[in-house]
Amino acid sequence: MIPNHYGIVILAAGSSSRLGEPKQILQYQGRSLIRHITEAALEAVTEVVVVTGANAELIGKELEGLPCRLVFNPDWPEGMSASIKAGIKALQSHAPGVKGAILAVSDQPFVTAATFHALLRIFEEAETGIVASEYGGSLGTPAFFAASYFPSLLQLTGAEGAKKLFARFAADISTHPFPQGSIDIDTQEDYQRLISDR
């Protein structure tokens, strides 16, 4: 596996309206959630794009000193699809030869570099174009998409995330069991549960 053959796009543009404060900069085990996921991504690949929106300045400060590429998405209120498109376009522009990309979100605290490595390894071994994380009886992020799926990602609209492609291309998906992927931070209750469990 050659790290510069792949990219990781971290979607961190949301306003965290249900939480009441920017979830990306919540602290867990001495680091913000966005710094944790970005450092994990940089351990796995050389080309990491972080898509910002609502709290771009705060997130930029959190990531100072890291060799990632920050991309501001002015259309972030339109939903997840706009951030996916901004991230994929940036990756295509700066690393046109990548074989594919992992889409990740900033509020899954148990994603590690090993999670990303597993997705890439499965892609190289299984010969499917998509590798999705499996948890809670469904498929989700982090998820890998071969470059051949970039046009489909760029056609998403509104609140649509990559899950729409899981249904459309079900025959071309491999999965990576990731039980802790079901733990994400949407509310204050989620966050309090996270920090009290550790």
pLDDT of residue 3: 62
Which pairs from 59-67 meet CB under 8 Å and 24+ separation?
Answer: 59/12, 59/22, 59/24, 59/25, 59/34, 62/24, 62/25, 62/32, 62/34, 62/35, 63/34, 63/35, 63/38, 66/35, 66/38, 66/39, 66/42, 67/42
pLDDT of residue 2: 61
Residue 48 in tokens: 């990491």
pLDDT of residue 69: 97
- Does residue 198 surpass a pLDDT of 70? no
- Tell me the pLDDT tens digit for each residue of 40-53: 999 999 999 999 99
Give the predicted TM-score (pTM) of the model.
0.94
User: Do 130 and 173 meet the contact criterion of CB atoms below 8 Å apart?
Assistant: yes
- Tell me the pLDDT tens digit for each residue of 65-98: 999 999 999 999 998 999 999 999 999 999 999 9
Residue of 125 and 25 predicted with greater confidence: 125
pLDDT of residue 197: 67
What class does CATH assign to 3-196? alpha beta
Domain limits, the chain: 3-196
In one-letter notation, the amino acid at residue 110 is: F
Longest dimension (CA), the chain: 44
Exposed, middle or buried, 99 (CB in 10 Å: 0-12/13-18/19+)?
A: middle
Average pLDDT (184-197) is: 79
